Structure formats: structure tokens, C-alpha cells
Amino acid sequence: MATQQAIQVVLASRPATPRASLENFRVETVSMPVPSAGQVLVRIDTLSLDPYMRGRMNDSKSYAKPAEIGQPMPGESVATVLESSSPEFVPGDIVLVQAGWRSHAALDAKGLKKLAVEGFNASAYLGVLGMPGFTAWSGLEVIGKPKAGETLVVGAATGPVGSLVGQLAKHKGLRAVGIAGGEKKCAYLLDELGFDAAIDHRLPNFADELRSACPDGIDVYFENIGDAVWNAVVPLLNQYARVPVCGLMAQLSGKLSHDTSKDYLAQTMRAVLTRSLQIRGFINYEFTEQYFDAFIREVSALLREGKIKHIEDVTVGLENAPQAFLDMLDGRNFGKVLVQVSA
């Protein structure tokens, strides 16, 4: 058969600078994996690219182990079962797998999740109905505790996390202010997603624009960015504001603003104290057991009713995954970043 080979993208080297580059990845052709007893052979259909992968490229202590040099980059995918020695799966089943940046994988059947697709594209389970969607929902609900009439601000607002945070906030009666890079993304927030205001973080007067967009201050700041955006947010936080700290894109992209020499810690801690702020970091899976079902119920219903929109930014070909990943870190994506691995 012509398809006896598989491809994979491995971590070739760890980034020597804050910015990752194409040299840190290598595309390899390998033999087709052979499943052993109790395993299934899957073909990866769609791979999800997510910001956390940048953290895994470093050899530093974190909530998850670093990727290993010479091994496939980690990642979640939607896949099709090709062969199965497990009674639980048959060829043709669509499954959600943690198989990394690979075209094929032999995986233990135990722990594989069959997708009941229910009228949605399978890829939605990598975005709005998957890990990023759950991150948005759980961070907002559990830590953000949104209340009608309040003001919420979220960065990376056109991405799968930020876009859902803002739309859920609107459904709950909050004023939603989105931060995004560039006019096109800001227009999308206003015209398509119904945000009340959208501010381009690249504007030289960004902090002033944000202040004008939040005349009553900020009650929930869903932190996706850090750095200059955080500095602009701190003075606007209201008494008892809640800050779910979800991610720090400015650090992952390796493009911190020029004034990093200035120490904002004192200002931040003073705001925490004097305004009784609640700042709470989280990794989505700490909430899975308790809240995942509630999330799927609420968000799938809103999607079905057309009350929530989501966009996918699809790159074709696994060999193009490294460039698509670097583009996402630089904000050149528009929506959930996916790689179509097989046609």
C-alpha cells in the first residue's frame, strides 16, 4: 500500500530566545505505527494548535511536563479509527485523542473518547465545545462570577477563549469590552459578536482608549495577555473586581512591551489590597469533573440556537503546523487554529 508511512512534527530544539522559530521544529517521515493488543490505529483528521504548546517547548517547571526533544509536539486532535482490537471501537469511529503532531498513532483504547457529534462539526470539540470553550466558560463562571450590569474586559478577544468569554458575558447582561490586534479583528468583535466596545492593543494610546471604553471601571477582567494590557487594566479595576488569570500571551509570544524595566508589582499589589481584588489563576482541567457537563449543556444549546458564533482558522497539511503555530503566537490567526491533517 502507498500509505505505509506516517508523518510527524517533532521538537527539534528548545527556543534559545523568548520567540520560538521554525528551526525549533522538524518534520519527519516515519513508519506507520502498528497497534498492539488493546490498541487502536487512528488517522488524525484535525489537529488543534493552542498557545500552551509554546510553554511545553521550554524545559522549565510548570503544571505540565515539557515536550521532549526529538519527540512529537503534544496536542489534541479529532481522529478516525482505522483498526481496532478493542471491542469498544470499530473502524470509522470518530475519537478525541491526545496523540501530538502526527498523522497516525497507535493508542491504548482505554481512555479514548468517542465523539457523539450531534449535529456539530467534529472540529468544534477542539474549540468552542472543547478545551478552549471550557476554559472560557469555567474561568468566567467559577472565578469571574459575572453579574448583569457589570463591565467585563477580555483580551485575545477573537480567539476561541476570548470570543466565548465575551459572548457569554453579553448573554448574561454584562457590558463586554474586547481587546484585539488590528482593525479587522476589532470590527468583527463589534459587528459580528456584539461586543459593546473593541480596542486595538497596538494603538499608541491604548490605555486611554480602554479607559474611555470602560466609563464605570472594570468588574471582571479575564486575563489572557499580561504585560502592557495588564498595566492599562489595573487602574480601572473596581472594588471587588474579579480577575481570572487564564493566560499570558505576551510572554508566550516573546514580544513583551518596551517598558519591562518598569516594575508594576507594587502598583498591582496595592490595587489588590485597597480594592479587595480577587485574582485567581486556573488551568481548565481543575474544573472538568465538576463543571464540564454544565458547560456542554449551556454552550451547545446557545450554539444550536445560533446565539454564539465561532470561527476556525484552518491550515492544510501537518507539515505547515509549525508556521501556523508561530503565526498564532504573533496574532496572525483569525479564530480557532486548526490543522487539517488528512483530507
Site residues (vs ligand NDP, CB under 6 A) = 50-52, 132, 135, 155-156, 158-162, 180-181, 185, 201, 224-225, 227, 229, 246-247, 249-250, 253, 255, 282-284, 328, 331, 333, 337
Query: CA 319 → CA 9, 22, 39, 78, distances in Å?
Result: 7, 11, 26, 17
Q: How far is the CB of 63 from ligand NDP (least distance, A)?
A: 9
Whether 178 and 186 have beta carbons less than 8 Å apart is answered as yes
Q: How far is the CB of 268 from ligand NDP (least distance, A)?
A: 17
Q: How far is the CB of 60 from ligand NDP (least distance, A)?
A: 15
Q: Which is nearer to ligand NDP, 86 or 251 (CB)?
A: 251
Q: Which is nearer to ligand NDP, 275 or 332 (CB)?
A: 332
Q: How far is the CB of 42 from ligand NDP (least distance, A)?
A: 23
β partners of residue 313: 337
- CA distance linking residue 134 with residue 126, whole number of Å: 10
Q: Which is nearer to ligand NDP, 33 or 139 (CB)?
A: 139
The DSSP line for 230-284 is HHHHGGGEEEEEEEEE---HHHHHT---TTTTS--HHHHHHHHHHTT-EEEE--G
Backbone angles phi, psi at 158, to 5 degrees: -95, -5
Q: How far is the CB of 338 from ligand NDP (least distance, A)?
A: 11
Q: Which is nearer to ligand NDP, 84 or 138 (CB)?
A: 138
Q: Which is nearer to ligand NDP, 43 or 56 (CB)?
A: 56
Whether 239 and 276 have beta carbons less than 8 Å apart is answered as yes
Q: How far is the CB of 284 from ligand NDP (least distance, A)?
A: 4
Locate 34 and state its grid cell. Answer: 502498528
Q: Which is nearer to ligand NDP, 41 or 176 (CB)?
A: 176
- CA distance linking residue 209 with residue 83, whole number of Å: 56
The vertex-67 CA angle with 310 and 89, nearest 5°, equals: 60
Whether 299 and 137 have beta carbons less than 8 Å apart is answered as yes
- CA distance linking residue 328 with residue 13, whole number of Å: 20
HSE-CB at 141 with a 13 A cutoff on CA atoms is 19
Q: Which is nearer to ligand NDP, 146 or 160 (CB)?
A: 160
Q: How far is the CB of 61 from ligand NDP (least distance, A)?
A: 17
